Chain A
Amino acid sequence: MPVVRAWWWAALAALTLFGSLPSAALAGPLMLTEADLLLSDSPTPPPDDAPWQRVSLPDRERRVQPDQGGAAWYRMAFEVPASGAAAAPWAVYLPYFYDGAQLSLNGEPLAHIRGSDAEVRVRWVRPHLVTVPEPLLRPGHNVLRVRATLPEGRALQFPSPAIGTHDELLPLYDRRLFWQRTLPQTAVVLSVLMAAFVLCVWWRRRQEVLYGLLGLAVLLWGIRTLPFVFEQVPTALWALWRAVFFAAQAGFAVVMALFALRFAGLRLHWLERVLWAYWAIGPVVMWAGGPNTEPWIDRVWGAGLIPIGLMVLLLVAWSAWRQRTWQAGTLLAALGLVLVAGFHDYLMVSNVAWATRLAPVWLGHRIYLLHLAANLLLLVMAAILTSRFVQSLNGVEELNLSLERRVADREHQLANQFDAMAQLERDRAAEAERQRIMLDMHDGLGSQLFTSLSRVERGAMAQRDVAELLRDCIAEMRLALDALAPSDDDFRSAFGNFRYRWDAQLDAAGVHASWSIDASDEGLQVPPHQRLELLRVLQEALTNVVKHAHARSVQVRVASRTQGLRFEVQDDGHGLDAARVRTGRGLHNMRARAHRLGAELSVVGAQPGTCVILQLGMPASTAQAAQHPPDAAASLRSR
């Protein structure tokens, strides 16, 4: 679709450009195609009997002759219809006149076009429209005389003047002015801006050589178009001015060739060097040889640019064939146009005989086409690079998007992995818990039952002992249930149950119990795996009170301090004797359990009775709690 659109625009542009030009030739005004010529320096019109010779217009190749001075007189006669003279105002239109001239009508001065002198060199690009004052024009026979200054170093180009009413001629003048002067002026400004922009891009991204070449081409083209802007140049700078013009024009061709090479993906260093060397010849010759070398430069060196252009065309055609992209195709078409235009301009400027015979009228108009085609070419190149730029931006965006997607995917994977790891962790914690309970049952209840069974079987146990043993087992089970009860989410509940049960038990044993809990609900925290062990120590202590101490009362105190939880079981019994402290199984068990808890157990004599103190270090318990993520603890409880 973009290809079609691009071609459509190109076709429209061509139609606008060329469709309008032939109308200049078909206009109604009177075209003067013949003149009498006399080479003479005379400031006044030479007499009619002087050796005038008849020439056809436009007159090309009129050069300075050493013996005849620097001016040429043209005399043109024309008839004005009687009715037409009244339809004022009339005008004389010169589609081009590059040098100075004096115009007179019927012997009266009509206009003066400034020519080159000691101070400035002129080369008028603009057309000239001279309004004829009404009294000067006579119905019937009129004579227009032009004294033209012959330029140095090149031929005088004398156009075919048109005479008609001002209204007829003005559109011709305007159109030519636009195409030959206004448009190049605009092109110069745009070229400079565009070159600055593109070269800035290249400056920051040196690897994009195509941008650099485009910028250079645009800049050279802007310089090459300068003579269309500045028509008068100080004489001192003239040689330099022309040298710059030719250098820029040839440089444009060379840079285009380099652009085409790169575009085709070719890196031929020798060819690039040859191209630069060829480019250097022109300016060097001009600098060394002076203004007189200009015709040679124009015809010979300029002609050498045509094969370079052809090479560019072939390269682009080749890459268009290979790439089959709209960019390559459009570039090929634009280049073709440039070459045709350049060839056309060359034929026109050089006055090649066969070409002049082939299209005398068209070439007589001296319409330069190259700068129009070149503008088109530059636009095409800019469009190509813009589309590349846009493509690479889109590519970057796409890359970013795909990177984002990949990052999101990876994040998702990581989250899944983390979930899996957390699940694994929970499973491991659950497994550890299960192991612990099994070990507990094996070492605790299990061994107690097995030992007792053995003793009962050999009749070593009294009935009362058996009952007591079984009560111990039941108490052990109750304790385990308290500590492991699935719905009990904290130590507070387990401790509440423990207290409730022991209250009844101590009451039944005739021991008055008083409990004091100096801890907030938050302070009374024990990690799940420590609860059972902790309650066992307390149970053992209370069992000792009931069984051995013969106490009347017992105080159970729980206190939460910054350094941890402190449990105290103090009775008013007859105290522990030293031997029991050392050898008693119960105490031994308590110490072992306290050790496993990482707690400190101390048994001190009170007055009277005994006090068992269990100090559970808070740092250890909180550290343990921190190791279990909340959800892992929840999964343990809900099993």
Chain B
Amino acid sequence: MGIGVLIVEDEPEFLNRFAQAVRSDANLHLLGAVASGSEAIALLDDRVPDVMLVDLGLPDIDGVQLIRHAAARHPGTDVLVVTMFGDDEHVLASIEAGATGYLLKDTSIERIVASICEIRAGGSPISPTIARKVLGRFRAAPAAAAPALNGGAVGATEASPLSARETDILRLVSKGLSCAEVGQHLSISTHTVVTHVKNIYRKLAVHSRGEAIFEAGQLGLL
């Protein structure tokens, strides 16, 4: 059967490029290639993609919303955000919405295929910028979520959902080490490193949903 891929991209040039990449590999098969959020939502109703490539700048729906929808609807689907430079706030917002990876727009066709396969194999890419932002998110979040707690730094580490290993990985990545180097440094395989990264992304998404629920509770919506 192979890996079912759904592409959501409003620019025909890149839509074609991604589609071409999917078609180029026998292990992948194109479930759909749409140019708008509404089409994607409609498609998600009767198909379950394994991997979804989402561009954030859609004409009708905010890409982050679409990711949230897809993650809620099909938790097993891996969402890759398509990004120009891979270091903007949108990537982090997408990960918080449920994306587990990102794809640079100028990535070569071979790399696109490899990225799709890697994410399916359980790993996620991560750049130093994103690692730093995730670290920052988890450092700042407990204080914001539980302002009544005056546990200080100890309370913050205790409240962080990241394991010590995951925190180490983020710290090393944020210094510019590649996943392979991080693996060497921590005496684990590169594969384990990228799996950890994927777990971190999931935790971030869960965490952000928790925050959303907390905020909704605060607002009296729940």
Answer yes or no: A498 CB below 8 A from chain B CBs. yes
A493 & B128 in contact (Cβ 8 Å cutoff): yes
Q: How far is the CA of A515 from the CA of B176 in the complex (A)?
A: 10
Which residues of chain A in 395-438 are interfacial with respect to chain B, using CB atoms and an 8 Å cutoff? Answer: none
User: Which listed residue, A477, A478, A499, A508, touches B108 by the CB 8 Å rule?
Assistant: A508
The 0/1 profile, CB within 8 Å of B marked 1, for residues 488-499 of chain A is 100011011111
What's the count of A-B pairs with C-beta under 8 Å? 45
CB distance from A172 to the nearest CB of B (A): 89
A497 & B176 in contact (Cβ 8 Å cutoff): yes
Which residues of chain A in 155-205 are interfacial with respect to chain B, using CB atoms and an 8 Å cutoff? Answer: none
**Dominant secondary structure at the A interface:** helix
Q: How far is the CA of A501 from the CA of B85 in the complex (A)?
A: 10
Q: How far is the CA of A581 from the CA of B132 in the complex (A)?
A: 39
User: Which listed residue, A471, A481, A504, touches B87 by the CB 8 Å rule?
Assistant: A481
A496 and B87 in contact, given A471-B106, A485-B129, A508-B108 (Cβ under 8 angstroms): no
Number of A positions contacting B (CB below 8 A): 22
The 0/1 profile, CB within 8 Å of A marked 1, for residues 111-138 of chain B is 1000000000000000111001100000
User: Which listed residue, B127, B133, B176, B181, touches A487 by the CB 8 Å rule?
Assistant: B133
What residues of B have a CB within 8 angstroms of the CB of A488 in the complex?
129, 132
A496 & B85 in contact (Cβ 8 Å cutoff): no
Answer yes or no: B175 CB below 8 A from chain A CBs. yes
A500 & B108 in contact (Cβ 8 Å cutoff): no
A493 and B129 in contact, given A481-B87, A500-B178 (Cβ under 8 angstroms): yes
Most buried by A among B175, B177, B181: B175
Answer yes or no: A503 CB below 8 A from chain B CBs. yes
A496 and B174 in contact, given A481-B87, A485-B87, A485-B129 (Cβ under 8 angstroms): yes
What residues of B have a CB within 8 angstroms of the CB of A499 in the complex?
128, 176-177
Q: How far is the CA of A493 from the CA of B173 in the complex (A)?
A: 10
A497 & B87 in contact (Cβ 8 Å cutoff): yes
A474 & B129 in contact (Cβ 8 Å cutoff): no
Quick one: closest A residue to B105, CB to CB? A474
The 0/1 profile, CB within 8 Å of B marked 1, for residues 573-587 of chain A is 000000000000000
A498 and B176 in contact, given A474-B106, A488-B129, A493-B132 (Cβ under 8 angstroms): yes
Number of B positions contacting A (CB below 8 A): 17
What residues of A have a CB within 8 angstroms of the CB of B85 in the complex?
477-478, 481
A496 and B106 in contact, given A478-B85, A481-B87 (Cβ under 8 angstroms): no
Q: How far is the CA of A546 from the CA of B32 in the complex (A)?
A: 38
The 0/1 profile, CB within 8 Å of B marked 1, for residues 263-299 of chain A is 0000000000000000000000000000000000000
The 0/1 profile, CB within 8 Å of A marked 1, for residues 132-147 of chain B is 1100000000000000
Q: How far is the CA of A620 from the CA of B129 in the complex (A)?
A: 28
Q: How far is the CA of A500 from the CA of B106 in the complex (A)?
A: 16
CB distance from A467 to the nearest CB of B (A): 10
Which residues of chain A in 496-533 are interfacial with respect to chain B, using CB atoms and an 8 Å cutoff? Answer: 496-501, 503-504, 508, 515
B133 & A496 in contact (Cβ 8 Å cutoff): no
What residues of B have a CB within 8 angstroms of the CB of A487 in the complex?
129, 132-133
A493 and B174 in contact, given A481-B87, A485-B129, A487-B133 (Cβ under 8 angstroms): yes
B175 & A496 in contact (Cβ 8 Å cutoff): yes
What residues of A have a CB within 8 angstroms of the CB of B129 in the complex?
485, 487-488, 493, 497
User: Which listed residue, A471, A474, A496, touches B176 by the CB 8 Å rule?
Assistant: A496
Which residues of chain B in 145-173 are interfacial with respect to chain A, using CB atoms and an 8 Å cutoff? Answer: 173
Q: How far is the CA of A477 from the CA of B181 in the complex (A)?
A: 26
Quick one: closest B residue to A524, CB to CB? B175
What residues of A have a CB within 8 angstroms of the CB of B132 in the complex?
487-488, 493
Pairs A-B, 3 closest by C-beta atoms: A496-B176, A496-B128, A499-B176
Knowing that A485-B129, A495-B176 touch, tell me 5 more A-B residue pairs with CB under 8 angstroms.
A481-B85, A493-B174, A499-B177, A500-B128, A508-B108
